[in-house]
A and B are shown apart, each in its own frame.
Chain A
Amino acid sequence: AQSVTQLGSHVSVSEGALVLLRCNYSSSVPPYLFWYVQYPNQGLQLLLKYTSAATLVKGINGFEAEFKKSETSFHLTKPSAHMSDAAEYFCAVRGPSGGYNKLIFGAGTRLAVHP
């Protein structure tokens, strides 16, 4: 069965600092991995996805993530945080579960950006 673990329910960074949000997955088959962002009182927006084409994936808003099979990780990074990056971030894996391809979310990481 597929699962996702996000390390750190809250992350706080200064504006301009590196953002690192951690995601580890478990999967018995090659996974398809996604990062979504949710701003307050809004739906989820896809930041980027990994589908085995390239291990370093670039997404929107300056975010990128690197797939590391040896570490079963798909951490999200951004070189320089903006105040507007403050939001909830969800890592998700999609794969066989219960007989069909289901999107399985991590618990989420709330990113705070302070001046």
Chain B
Amino acid sequence: DTEVTQTPKHLVMGMTNKKSLKCEQHMGHRAMYWYKQKAKKPPELMFVYSYEKLSINESVPSRFSPECPNSSLLNLHLHALQPEDSALYLCASSQDLGASSYEQYFGPGTRLTVT
């Protein structure tokens, strides 16, 4: 099973709301990622978790807060977002962080609209 699942598929939230995006994988992967993708652009890396610890934060604003409760789950907590944060949010996982050859498996994404 090479599936990464994400919920919800679509999310509309106001600028004062708090919401969370969820990601799950059961491939035994130890590295998990959050990406943001704007229309007609490639994905941009936001956060990387390795063995449930935050390894990389690509200078993401604090209104995005990641969490890795266990090795299979990854959350992204959202608070006080701006309309320009509207995008497709993709979760991915890979076997590990170290080896360059490890491919990343992507989930279907959550389409976020901030009003």
Contacts and interface: CB of A to CB of B under 8 A. Distances in A.
Contact of B43 (A45, A94, A100, A105): A105
Interface residues of B, number: 26
A46 B100 contact: no
Nearest to B58: A98
Interface residues of A, number: 25
B69 to A, nearest CB: 22
Contacts of B100: 31-32, 94-96, 101
B32 to A, nearest CB: 13
Contacts of A51: 101
B97 interface: yes
Nearest to A101: B100
Interface string B59-94: 000000000000000000000000000000010100
Contact of B90 (A34, A44, A49): A44
Given A107-B42, A108-B42, A32 B104 contact: no
Contact of B108 (A31, A42, A108): A42
A46 B90 CA distance: 14
A36 B105 CA distance: 10
B42 A101 contact: no
B103 A44 contact: no
A46 B105 contact: yes
Given A41-B111, A42-B109, A108 B56 contact: no
A74 interface: no
Given A42-B108, A42-B109, A49 B103 contact: yes
Contacts of A102: 45
Shortest Cβ-Cβ A-B pairs, 10 listed = A105-B42, A43-B106, A44-B106, A51-B101, A32-B100, A43-B108, A101-B100, A94-B100, A43-B109, A32-B101
14 contacts: A43-B6, A43-B109, A44-B43, A44-B90, A44-B92, A44-B106, A46-B103, A46-B105, A49-B103, A94-B100, A94-B101, A96-B100, A105-B43, A107-B41
